[in-house]
Amino acid sequence: MFSLAEENYLKAIYHLEHENQGEVSTNAIAERMDTKPSSVTDMVQKLAEKDLLSYKKYKGTLLTPSGRKIAANVIRKHRLWEVFLVEKLNFHWDEVHVIAEQLEHIQSDELIARLDKFLGSPDFDPHGDPIPDKHGNVKRTEKKLLSECEKNQRGVCVGVKESSGEFLQYLDKRKISIGTKIKVLGKEFFDGSMIIQVGSDQFFISQKIAENLYVQTN
């Protein structure tokens, strides 16, 4: 059994490891957790004593296999609950993250096993993020950011990098969701903005928007 704070730290380090492709600094964890570096150091040392991560001063932190498994399980529960909330309780995709943050800490393997079976063992959550299996394995898909696409390239939206309610609500206004087909009609090299086509609509999007949409291209 681990505390809510311990699980949140392990989850944050898991995500940062994936983003950084390597060791994670104390400052990066502090920024992600919105806390002081000194508080991070205390927690990291505590988790290291439990053999959940390795920590070297001035070098960074890496999860051990045990720590990675626990983090993946928390993420698995979070994303399964998001699927349940959207598909079975009709929540919108911009409403479920905060609720799933609470539900992900329920300590019942049997409940999660039944939830997974009830949902048909989904591979992805409503935001396009992969759901780890019970062993912590993650199904990866080939994808890239819309900002990396060239003029006249077509793609299908398969995920979002930013999952804040404000961003998801913006996508709703533009009728963009998982599975939406997008065509790049033009690209401004000065500021990275794009003109895209979604269905019969054509409109400009900023570089920030393009950098937060994942697509699969042909």
Among 15, 35, 63, the domain-final residue is 63
Among 14, 30, 63, the domain-final residue is 63
Contact 74, 11 (CB under 8 A): yes
- What CATH number corresponds to the domain at position 8? 1.10.10.10
170 occurs within a structural domain: yes
| Cα–Cα dist 97/188, whole Å | 33
50 occurs within a structural domain: yes
Could you give the C-alpha distances from 151 to 90, 148, 181, 209, in angstroms and in order? Answer: 37, 10, 15, 16
| Cα–Cα dist 206/195, whole Å | 9
How confident is the model over 125-145, as pLDDT tens digits?
999 999 999 999 998 888 999
Domain around 164 = 144-217
- What CATH number corresponds to the domain at position 154? 2.30.30.90
10 occurs within a structural domain: yes
| Cα–Cα dist 10/86, whole Å | 26
Quick one: pLDDT band at residue 56, thresholds 50, 70, 90? confident
Q: Is the pLDDT of residue 57 over 90?
A: no
For the purposes of burial, counting CB atoms within 10 Å of the CB of 110, is it exposed (0-12), middle (13-18) or buried (19 or more)? exposed
How confident is the model over 17-32, as pLDDT tens digits?
988 878 999 999 999 9
Q: What is the mean pLDDT of the chain?
A: 94
95 occurs within a structural domain: no
Q: Going by DSSP bridges, is the β-strand pair 194-198/181-187 parallel, antiparallel, or unpaired?
A: antiparallel
58 occurs within a structural domain: yes
Q: What pLDDT is attached to residue 59?
A: 82
What pTM, to 2 d.p., does this model score?
Answer: 0.88
173 occurs within a structural domain: yes
165 occurs within a structural domain: yes
Domain count, the chain: 2
96 occurs within a structural domain: no
